[in-house]
């Protein structure tokens, strides 16, 4: 005999801890990535690959410095060189993150068959102790002739989550798709 008082839970539901803004932002960002992919935009992972490569080189420099054959007094110059290289590579990595990525959650290629030559850079913000989620869509290459005007919206996350922390995907998808349509309209107008 089945107990009808228990609510049925869809296993595909996305649930967040409403007291943790990182959890909320993570679920919204993942949903944005799904929505953008469903619109035909392929993710551009080149920037992530550059970051991973630099991180690997940084770790390799640290390991070489740690396990170099000679002991300290003899390898002083070598260690100084490794430390300088470690710091320089870390600064380069941080500059890439700060200048190029900013708050980006996704870079894309242009959709297949599109007349634009640039993909999207999608970024989001959810400040601590606030419920206003800002989603921004911009051109991945703002200097391109086919770059569209940056569009964004800021809305309260309370609009998209139930009191139990379940994301109401239909409402969120509608808002994100509207923003994507607005960006696509701006691109068409600029031509």
- One DSSP character per residue, the chain reads ---TTSPP--TT--B--TT-HHHHHHHHHHHHHHHHHHTTPPB--HHHHHHHHHHHHHHHHHHHHHS-SS-GGGGHHHHHHHHHHHHHHHHHHHHIIIIIITTEEEEBPPPTT-S-S--EEEEEE--TT--EEEEEEEESSTTSTTPPPPEEEEEEGGGTB-TTSBB-HHHHHHHHHHHHHHHHHHHHHH-
For the segment 45-104, what is each residue's pLDDT rounded down to a tens digit?
Answer: 888 888 899 999 999 988 988 887 877 777 788 888 888 999 999 999 999 888 887 788
Instruction: Return the pLDDT at 183.
Output: 83
Instruction: Return the pLDDT at 24.
Output: 87
Q: Which residue has the tokens 């940056």?
A: 150
Cα angle, residue 135 at apex, residues 134 and 140 outer, rounded to 5°: 140
Q: Could you tell me the pLDDT band of residue 144, with boundaries at 50, 70 and 90?
A: low
Cβ partners under 8 Å of residue 73, min gap 6 = none
Are 110 and 119 in contact by the 8 Å Cβ rule? The answer is yes
pTM confidence score: 0.73
For the segment 94-122, what is each residue's pLDDT rounded down to a tens digit?
Answer: 998 888 877 888 888 887 776 667 788 88
Sheet holding 104-107, edge to edge: 104-107, 120-125, 132-139, 151-156
Q: For residue 47, which of 95, 109, 11, 96 has the smallest C-alpha distance? A: 96
Pairwise pLDDT comparison (17 vs 24), residue with the higher score: 24
Q: How confident is the model over 121-135, as a mean pLDDT? A: 88
DSSP 30-49: HHHHHHHHHTTPPB--HHHH
Which two structure tokens, joined as six digits, stand for 61? 């420099």
CA distance 117 to 186: 15
Q: How confident is the model over 12-19, as a mean pLDDT? A: 76
């Amino acid at each position: 005999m089945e107990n009808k008082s228990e609510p049925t839970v869809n296993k595909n539901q996305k649930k967040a801890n409403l007291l943790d803004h990182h959890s909320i932002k993570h679920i919204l960002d993942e949903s944005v990535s799904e929505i953008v992919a469903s619109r035909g935009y392929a993710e551009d992972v080149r920037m992530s690959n550059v970051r991973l490569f630099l991180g690997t080189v940084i770790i390799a420099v640290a390991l070489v410095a740690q396990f170099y054959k000679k002991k300290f007094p003899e390898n002083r110059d070598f260690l100084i060189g490794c430390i300088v290289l470690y710091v320089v590579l870390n600064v380069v990595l941080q500059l890439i993150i700060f200048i190029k990525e900013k708050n980006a959650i996704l870079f894309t290629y242009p959709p297949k068959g599109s007349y634009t030559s640039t993909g999207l850079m999608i970024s989001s913000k959810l400040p601590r102790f606030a419920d206003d989620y800002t989603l921004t869509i911009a051109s991945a290459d703002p200097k391109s002739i086919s770059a569209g005007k940056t569009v964004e919206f800021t809305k309260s996350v309370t609009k998209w989550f139930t009191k139990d922390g379940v994301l109401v995907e239909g409402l969120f998808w509608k808002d994100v798709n509207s923003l994507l349509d607005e960006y696509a309209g701006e691109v068409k107008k600029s031509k």
